[in-house]
């Protein structure tokens, strides 16, 4: 832990760390993806953070929205200059994906909330890579990577988010000038939400309905310059501004954008998948619909990995605080207990450690699946895409939903102090809660997965082969309950049985409605509450299996200490979710009342086994204090000192009496109001 | 709906309202507690809100923390002057409790977040009423009610919240001057959190360990003047300031407070329950420990009622927005559907309408129980107090936890726009999430209830009689599953069986540990995860029963239209929770797989029955637009217009180019950084 340089460490934390039964550095290396990567990451952190440029003298949340934005732009420019070099060689999504975890940590230390430039690297660049022709890439990519332009990505409109086909912004081709004319005909057609759009971006990728020769070809992506290079003034025909305060991300200058017949050159249409020739002929290049999935799936894979990272931060804060915080005397003659010693606290927190590992490993596995599918697609084979799409949909949905709930669980576990902004838990929650909605709403994504599940079920019925992640469906054909067996493999089998059973129930429910004379789509709608449940069950089964399998693979060469704790964590995940899902297990497996009691006992015993390593397990995530940015979670455990130090920074404490006393309160107290 | 004066109403909302099958005003009257109360409330709203004094030209969230505070003080003074008259006659907790729902609505329209004066009426005044002698009340109450002083309540310290006995602030009696000397010996002893303490309050009730004649008598409440009447400067020996930004309540100036041997007169000890005579003799007046429960239980009853109110607001916003918002085409030849037509949306929202009614009725019922117990106590009988305490603990825990989760469900149901501050959903969530922690943490309160449950179980075993809310425990004696029966009464019986079964499991688990040689307290600790579950189950059963019973009582004289919808809502609650708890029902009742399918079908059918009345059901909560303060939820449904109008108010939109472009971005774009 070379980067923790605190002089005095809280005595309870010292004691906790002395109990560690495994090689901490070995686990950190595993989490980073190798010794070399840990080293790279720490070098990057030293390089970017040791200058102190990331530190705010006044907490960001105290400033006005304008000051916050200006401070974020200032830091974005400093930060970009720092990291520009490490970005210039990136040419593909793979490079971008691999460099992102390293950058994320340093970026987090700079921006407690978010950089207005985030969508530049997060969406603008990946879309150029994914949807431009080589010639277009050659034009735009160097400009973007060298930060000569700052871009963002505008798809969502005031009136449409989920339903892309319903987008109202139009791009109508005018062959006389070889331009597209962009227009937002109604208020509801205004673009809304794009980060960095409000004040920052010079360019914007815009999704609009492509019209040419009087025909609509659906939504296509266009590159649009929106502000003047010299003055930064919105160009004539562009109506752009900030959308106002939000739950989180308040330094992102999310924006709105309207077009008053704004003209762009023909070749600003991103033409990898579809082109419009000079005379206005629309030419589809290969499987347009499917190829654009690429960026979308890429972003979702990244999100699952982000969730693992956010949750690791939250649980690091909560576990360290719980080791320092002492409250109540379980027995009269003993000192107050560390709250980490309460079983209810362990119940709230240890599943968060497990879940972070589960999501990280699932994300890596999904990444491997994704790159394999990309390779297939380059050879013209898109057969594996539907399964990947269904997987990335449900994993995005469940990982963001789990993470939001678990971060809030960490926050609640820190009592009142978790409500302080300086704990950093409120901000972490606001980020995770946003991801549950953006890039595909929870319910909508699960229903998309459910379509795939029901279709697969029907194919199975017709005797067709099942894709790998759905091979378990075959179980549902005999209609019996799965035999309960409490080994890890047995539990995973039972989760597969739950998923199979729930999908079968949905099919039965849809068919019952159809038999009663309803058309299929209405019957589907009436079953959607159950379908969401079925997709959740499928996804949970996938995570359980992948987490277990990948843990075994990853630890094959590990020291016994690390192997043991990672085995415990993956086992905890299986037991936790078994106890959460006793209703489903009772329905779809032979689980008995006695088995439930035994599960509960094993779970409680496992919490106690993990307890001595709890602090070391979160230490292994290896967050520098600057990255964690939490009064409650710092490595040294100086919780109360830091809370007070942070409080003293608020401008309200700069003067003993606020002017509002003389202006408003005194007249009132004296009865003069 | 006399107060909604919008000219143009969204066509979908007009259509929704035309489908209403019940008398709207009749339901509003029921919710208010009578025709007269509705009238009073509307008069108060007209009086306080029609002046426009509550309106902010710039959204509060855009301002710096200092500006926000100053604006809140300004409005607090205006508001207090407006409502002062309606408060002067209040002398008891009952009066205060009854006037609070009326004041809450107008206060909410003034303070999007919170008034720095909130704890003055919310804690300072109730504590004076509850813990002062008549002489002390005669001194302090008129000063407080007439707003000549502004008080707050400081109990929590940096190092202690839950465990009151562990508080470190001391009040040591000095007979030579007849004063108490207040001291905060360590950093962790500093008071922390009290709303209004940071900059606003002139006085503060302080909980401190009372020492006299060398002996500690535990925590007692003292009234302490902390600031100079003329200058508002902290008095010598007082260290006071603001604690910094939080998830919500950012205009509350929550404060810290330290004492440097600060002296207060002897009779600033609140002496209703304990006194210290001039020579320093400690005199306990009657059952000290139990009588101070009064204020605490009062505050919890109020919180349950607040939760009903917050949730009603959130679901009003979400339901109206869902009627206006159209998204996706379920069928190609039809227009985009109102999102309220999706079953998944109904599933998310209608339970919120139900739950708000459930909590309101439970709170009223708890209030009746509370006043009966108060009457008993005045006659010296405290036998009914433990049950009330257990009830108020678990109802506070479950109602705040349900409300936080359901408000967030409403927010998620509004997609991206729910993340906008102007929807008001983020603020509502931040309030509800705070209540889950303050005035008793969720887990701690449920474990207190669990103590009562296990004790009662043991008494039952000894053949002693059970208290009314626990009469169901008798079922657990025979050890059989309850016969499942899907009538409302049958479902409630099954919920009682779940609670009885879970409490029995806990007792078995504790005894097993004890048989294995563990001492009782350790065995209890090891069972706490299960005990929390048992207390939840008990509380859910109480709410199910009370909601159903009180609905039947309340609607006895109602028109058939109102009776039908309220019956549907209470039935929805029972079906929703049955489906959530199938695992428990399978364990503790004879519920079968077939019964689950039938429950699911009934639940889905009921959603469709409620659907046509959904907008009218939230209209009946009768929130004025100023009170709701939501771009998505206003009565007229001008959702997109209001979002844009609100966005245009942010100071970032006042100038087309922010200065940070020239200062920071341009050099970077030109490669000069």
Please report the DSSP string for B587-617 in residue order: HHB---HHHHHHHHHHHHHHHHHHGGGHHHH
The secondary structure of A584-631 as a DSSP string is HHHHHB---HHHHHHHHHHHHHHHHHHGGGHHHHHHTT---HHHH--T
CB A673 within 8 A of CB B206: no
Q: Identify the H or E element spanning A196.
A: none
Instruction: Please count the CA atoms within 13 angstroms of the CA of B110 that sit on its side-chain side.
Output: 32
> Is A377 a residue whose pLDDT tops 90?
no
At A88-107, the pLDDT tens digits run: 566 666 666 656 666 788 88
H, E, C per residue of B108-135 = HHHCCCCCCCHHHHHHHHHHHHHHCCHH
What value does the mean pLDDT take over residues A387-402? 96
Q: Residue B107: its pLDDT value, please?
A: 87
What value does the mean pLDDT take over residues B347-365? 97
CB contact under 8 A, A646 and B244: yes
Query: What percentage of chain B has pLDDT greater than the value 70?
Result: 94
Stretch 165-204 of chain B: residues touching chain A, C-beta under 8 Å: 165-166, 187-188, 190, 192-193, 198-200, 202
| Distance from the Cα of residue A357 to its chain's centroid | 14
> Is B465 a residue whose pLDDT tops 70?
yes
Least confident of A43-52, A289-298, A460-469: A289-298
Least confident of A61-70, B163-172, B281-290, B487-496: B281-290
State which residue of chain B sits closest to A62, comparing Cα positions.
Answer: B65
Among A179, A439, A641, A646, the active-site one is A439
Q: Residue B2: its pLDDT value, please?
A: 42
Instruction: Please count the CA atoms within 13 angstroms of the CA of B574 that sit on its side-chain side.
Output: 29
> Is B5 a residue whose pLDDT tops 80?
no
At B8-38, the pLDDT tens digits run: 999 999 999 999 999 999 999 999 999 999 9
CB contact under 8 A, A669 and B150: yes
CB atoms within 10 A of CB B640: 22
CB contact under 8 A, B422 and A69: no
**Which residues of chain B neighbour A664 with C-beta distances below 8 Å?**
73-74, 76-77
Q: Residue A1: its pLDDT value, please?
A: 43
What value does the mean pLDDT take over residues A328-353? 95
Nearest residue to A481 (alpha-carbon basis) of A555, A585, A628:
A585
Q: Residue B3: its pLDDT value, please?
A: 47
Interface membership of B366 toward A (CB under 8 Å): no
Interface membership of B671 toward A (CB under 8 Å): yes
Interface membership of A433 toward B (CB under 8 Å): yes
In A305-385, where do the E strands start and end?
none
The size of chain A, in residues, is 673
At A395-406, the pLDDT tens digits run: 999 999 999 999
CB contact under 8 A, B148 and A669: yes
Strand pairing class (B274-276; A282-284): unpaired
In sequence order, the β-bridge partners of residue B204 are B152, B224
3-class state of residue A58 by DSSP: coil
**Which residues of chain A neighbour B202 with C-beta distances below 8 Å?**
669
**Which residues of chain B neighbour A406 with C-beta distances below 8 Å?**
none
Give the residue ranges of DSSP H helices in A465-559.
488-515, 520-526, 528-554
Return d(Cα A111, Cα A71) in angstroms, integer: 10
Interface residue of A419, A516, A535, A639 to substitute, partner B, most B CBs within 10 Å: A419
CB B404 within 8 A of CB B433: yes
Q: Residue A619: its pLDDT value, please?
A: 98
**Which residues of chain A neighbour B241 with C-beta distances below 8 Å?**
647-648, 652-653
State which residue of chain B sits closest to A328, comparing Cα positions.
Answer: B163
What value does the mean pLDDT take over residues B200-224? 97
Return d(Cα B528, Cα B447) in angstroms, integer: 7
What value does the mean pLDDT take over residues B645-670? 96
- The mean of the pLDDT values for chain A is 93
CB contact under 8 A, B244 and A421: yes
Top pLDDT among B627 and A288 is at B627
CB contact under 8 A, B412 and A442: yes
Interface membership of A162 toward B (CB under 8 Å): yes
Interface membership of A479 toward B (CB under 8 Å): no
Q: Residue B288: its pLDDT value, please?
A: 47
Q: Residue B103: its pLDDT value, please?
A: 76
Binned at pLDDT 50, 70 and 90, residue A288 comes out as very low
State which residue of chain B sits closest to A164, comparing Cα positions.
Answer: B328
- The mean of the pLDDT values for chain B is 93
CB B22 within 8 A of CB B565: yes
At B552-611, the pLDDT tens digits run: 999 999 999 999 999 999 999 999 999 999 999 999 999 999 999 999 999 999 999 999
State which residue of chain B sits closest to A529, comparing Cα positions.
Answer: B344
Return d(Cα A305, Cα B419) in angstroms, integer: 22
Least confident of A2-16, A467-481, B90-104: B90-104
Top pLDDT among B89 and A509 is at A509
> Is B294 a residue whose pLDDT tops 50?
yes
| Distance from the Cα of residue A184 to its chain's centroid | 31
CB B288 within 8 A of CB B269: no
Return d(Cα A449, Cα A471) in angstroms, integer: 16
CB contact under 8 A, B342 and A643: no
Q: Residue B285: its pLDDT value, please?
A: 81
Stretch 328-357 of chain B: residues touching chain A, C-beta under 8 Å: 328-331, 336, 342-344, 347
Interface residue of B245, B252, B443 to substitute, partner A, most A CBs within 10 Å: B245
Interface membership of B142 toward A (CB under 8 Å): no
Interface membership of A64 toward B (CB under 8 Å): yes
Cα A608 to Cα A285, A327, A504, A549, B295, distances in angstroms = 59, 19, 39, 24, 38
CB A164 within 8 A of CB A155: yes
CB atoms within 10 A of CB B390: 26
Interface residue of A66, A142, A534, A639 to substitute, partner B, most B CBs within 10 Å: A66
Q: For residue B576, give the DSSP letter.
A: H
Q: Residue A3: its pLDDT value, please?
A: 47
Among B242, B439, B641, B646, the active-site one is B439
Binned at pLDDT 50, 70 and 90, residue A533 comes out as very high
Least confident of A9-23, A341-355, A558-572, B4-18: B4-18
CB B587 within 8 A of CB A578: no
Which of A81, A327, A650 is opposite residue B65, by nearest beta carbon? A650
> Is A563 a residue whose pLDDT tops 60?
yes
CB contact under 8 A, A437 and B644: no
Strand pairing class (B191-192; B151-154): unpaired
Cα B284 to Cα B276, B288, B378, distances in angstroms = 9, 7, 17
Give the residue ranges of DSSP H helices in A379-441.
385-413, 425-435
At B133-176, the pLDDT tens digits run: 999 999 999 999 889 999 999 999 999 998 999 999 999 999 99
What value does the mean pLDDT take over residues A487-514? 96
Interface membership of B81 toward A (CB under 8 Å): yes
> Is A478 a residue whose pLDDT tops 70?
no
- Cα distance from A375 to chain B (closest Cα, Å)? 33
CB B211 within 8 A of CB B222: no
- Cα distance from A405 to chain B (closest Cα, Å)? 9
Least confident of A651-665, B94-108, B252-266, B473-487: B94-108
Stretch 269-298 of chain A: residues touching chain B, C-beta under 8 Å: none
What value does the mean pLDDT take over residues A51-68? 91
- Cα distance from B599 to chain A (closest Cα, Å)? 12
Burial annotation A629-642 (CB, 10 A radius, 16+ → b, else e): bbbbbbbbbbbbbb
Interface membership of A650 toward B (CB under 8 Å): yes
Strand pairing class (A215-225; A262-265): unpaired
Query: What percentage of chain A has pLDDT greater than the value 70?
Result: 94
Name, of A127-131, A179-183, A300-304, the range with top average pLDDT.
A179-183
> Is B105 a residue whose pLDDT tops 80?
yes
- Cα distance from B247 to chain A (closest Cα, Å)? 6
> Is B451 a residue whose pLDDT tops 90?
yes
Please indicate whether residue B85 is annotated as part of the active site: no
Which of B78, B245, B528 is opposite residue A61, by nearest beta carbon? B245
Return d(Cα B184, Cα B171) in angstroms, integer: 9
What value does the mean pLDDT take over residues A529-543? 98
What value does the mean pLDDT take over residues A413-424? 98
Return d(Cα B569, Cα B610) in angstroms, integer: 8
State which residue of chain A sits closest to B501, comparing Cα positions.
Answer: A593
**Which residues of chain B neighbour A70 with C-beta distances below 8 Å?**
658-660, 663
Top pLDDT among B237 and A126 is at B237
Q: Residue A657: its pLDDT value, please?
A: 97
Least confident of A484-498, B102-116, B208-222, B500-514: B102-116
Q: Residue B547: its pLDDT value, please?
A: 98
Size of interface A-B (CB pairs under 8 A): 371
Q: Residue B90: its pLDDT value, please?
A: 61
**Which residues of chain B neighbour A247 with C-beta distances below 8 Å?**
419, 421, 426, 429
H, E, C per residue of A232-258 = CCECCCEEEEECCCECCCCCCCCEEEE
Return d(Cα A286, Cα A341) in angstroms, integer: 60
Name, of A140-149, A640-649, B85-94, B368-377, the range with top average pLDDT.
A640-649
State the Cα angle at A93 between A87 and A94, rounded to 5°.
90
CB contact under 8 A, B233 and A66: no
CB atoms within 10 A of CB A595: 18
At B390-436, the pLDDT tens digits run: 999 999 999 999 999 999 999 999 999 999 999 999 999 999 999 99
Interface residue of A347, A658, A670 to substitute, partner B, most B CBs within 10 Å: A658
At A221-278, the pLDDT tens digits run: 999 999 999 999 999 999 999 999 999 999 999 999 999 999 999 999 999 989 999 9
**Which residues of chain B neighbour A650 with C-beta distances below 8 Å?**
65, 242-245
Handedness of CA B353, B354, B357, B358 (dihedral sign): negative
H, E, C per residue of A468-482 = HHHHHHHHHHCCCCE
Own/partner pairs for A551-560, CB < 8 Å, 24+ apart?
A: A551/A357, A551/A361, A554/A30, A554/A361, A555/A30, A558/A26, A558/A30, A559/A22, A559/A23, A559/A26
Binned at pLDDT 50, 70 and 90, residue B516 comes out as very high
At B175-198, the pLDDT tens digits run: 999 999 999 999 999 999 999 999
């Amino acid at each position: 832990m070379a980067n923790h340089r605190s002089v005095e460490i809280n005595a309870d934390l010292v004691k906790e760390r002395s109990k560690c039964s495994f090689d901490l550095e070995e686990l950190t290396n595993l989490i980073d993806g190798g010794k070399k990567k840990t080293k790279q990451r720490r070098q990057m952190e030293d390089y970017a953070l040791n200058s102190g440029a990331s530190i705010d003298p006044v907490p960001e949340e105290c400033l006005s929205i304008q000051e916050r934005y200006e401070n974020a732009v200032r830091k974005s420019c400093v930060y970009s200059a720092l990291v520009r070099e490490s970005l210039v060689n990136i040419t593909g999504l793979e490079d971008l994906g691999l460099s992102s975890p390293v950058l994320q940590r340093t970026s987090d230390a700079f921006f407690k909330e978010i950089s207005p430039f985030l969508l530049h690297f997060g969406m603008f660049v990946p879309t150029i890579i994914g949807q431009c022709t080589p010639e277009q890439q050659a034009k735009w990519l160097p400009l973007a990577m060298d930060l000569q332009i700052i871009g963002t990505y505008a798809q969502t409109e005031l009136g449409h988010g989920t339903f892309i086909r319903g987008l109202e912004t139009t791009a109508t081709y005018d062959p006389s000038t070889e331009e597209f004319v962009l227009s937002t005909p109604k208020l509801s057609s205004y673009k809304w939400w794009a980060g960095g759009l409000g004040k920052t971006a010079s360019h914007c990728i815009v999704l609009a309905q492509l019209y040419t020769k009087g025909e609509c070809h659906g939504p296509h992506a266009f590159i649009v310059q929106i502000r003047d290079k010299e003055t930064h003034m919105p160009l004539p025909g562009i109506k752009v501004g900030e959308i106002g305060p939000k739950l989180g991300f308040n330094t992102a200058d999310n924006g709105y954008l309207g077009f008053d017949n704004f003209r762009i050159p023909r070749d600003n249409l991103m033409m990898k998948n579809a082109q419009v020739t000079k005379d206005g002929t629309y030419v589809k290049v290969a499987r347009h619909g499917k190829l654009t999935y690429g960026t979308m799936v890429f972003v979702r894979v990244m999100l699952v990995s982000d969730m693992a990272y956010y949750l690791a931060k939250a649980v690091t804060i909560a576990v360290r605080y719980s080791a320092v915080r002492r409250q109540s005397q379980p027995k009269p003659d003993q000192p107050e207990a560390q709250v980490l010693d309460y079983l209810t606290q362990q119940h709230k927190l240890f599943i968060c450690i497990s879940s972070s590992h589960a999501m990280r490993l699932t994300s890596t596995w999904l990444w491997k699946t994704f790159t394999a599918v990309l390779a297939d697609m380059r050879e013209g084979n898109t057969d594996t895409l539907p399964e990947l799409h269904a997987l990335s949909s449900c994993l995005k949905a469940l990982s963001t939903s789990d993470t939001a709930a678990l971060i809030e669980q960490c926050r609640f576990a820190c009592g009142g102090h978790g409500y302080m902004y300086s704990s950093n838990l409120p901000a972490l929650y606001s980020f995770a809660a946003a991801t549950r909605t953006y890039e595909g709403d929870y319910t909508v994504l699960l229903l998309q997965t459910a379509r795939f599940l029901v279709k697969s079920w029907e194919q199975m019925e017709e005797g067709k082969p099942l894709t790998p992640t759905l091979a378990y469906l075959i179980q549902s054909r005999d209609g019996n309950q799965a035999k309960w067996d409490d080994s890890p493999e047995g539990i995973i089998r039972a989760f597969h049985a739950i998923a199979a059973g729930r999908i079968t129930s949905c099919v039965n429910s849809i068919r019952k409605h159809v038999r009663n004379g309803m058309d299929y789509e209405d019957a589907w709608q009436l079953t959607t509450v159950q379908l969401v449940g079925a997709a959740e069950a499928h996804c949970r089964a996938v995570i359980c299996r992948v987490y277990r399998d990948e843990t075994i693979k990853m630890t094959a060469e590990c020291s016994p200490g690390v192997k043991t704790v990672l085995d415990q964590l993956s086992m905890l995940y299986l037991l936790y979710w078994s106890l959460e899902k006793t209703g489903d297990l009772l329905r779809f497996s032979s689980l008995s009342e006695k088995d439930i009691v035994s599960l509960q006992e094993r779970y409680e015993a496992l919490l106690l086994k993990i307890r001595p390593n709890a602090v070391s397990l979160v230490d292994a995530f290896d967050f520098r204090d600057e990255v964690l940015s939490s009064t409650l979670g710092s490595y040294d455990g100086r919780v109360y000192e830091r809370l007070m130090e942070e409080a003293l920074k608020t401008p309200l404490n700069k003067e003993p009496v606020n002017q509002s006393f003389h202006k408003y309160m005194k007249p009132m107290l004296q009865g003069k109001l």
